[in-house]
Amino acid sequence: MLSEWSGLLIRDADEAFCAGAYLAAILAAQAAMECHLRYEFLLEDRHANIGFFNLIETSRIPDDLRADLHTIRRYRNRWVHVHDPSSDADLLQRPDYYGEELERMAVLAITSMRRVIYLEQWV
């Protein structure tokens, strides 16, 4: 079972990934995972102000998936919370490097998103 919010975010992540918008795919996949973990594991108070870090730590998920989610969370934070936007020389000099890195992380994010949403299956 998925909430409609989770479903919308999952579709958006998939569309971004298929279009090659890898940063958008990472952001949408992270949002989908956060939404689904909140829906699946915060039964008492889904409205609680619990961030992604604490959702990862308190959810019943395998340790290898927990490590991947923290990797995605940290990577996402580097792009969302740019400390010095004027420090962009490396980005300008090595755009292919960053593009390939984003693609690798997008694959991890999309794969991890699937693992998260299929954790608690039932027929």
Average of pLDDT values for 66-72?
A: 98
Residue 116 C-beta-side C-alpha neighbours within 13 Å: 32
At 38, which CATH number? 1.20.120
Locate all alpha helices (DSSP H) within the chain, ordered by sequence.
4-18, 22-41, 52-58, 63-80, 89-93, 95-117
Share of the chain above pLDDT 90, in %: 72
Average pLDDT value for residue range 1-29: 96
Q: Is 122 inside any structural domain?
A: no
Count of domains forming the chain: 1
Q: pTM value?
A: 0.90
Q: What is the pLDDT of residues 17-64, one digit of tens each?
A: 999 999 999 999 999 999 999 888 776 665 667 889 999 998 899 999
Residue 37 counted as domain residue: yes
| Average pLDDT for 71-85 | 93
Per-residue tokens: 12: 């958006």
Is 55 part of any domain?
yes
Contact 110, 25 (CB under 8 A): yes
* Residue 10 structural domain: 4-117
123, part of any domain: no
Could you tell me if residue 29 is inside a domain? yes
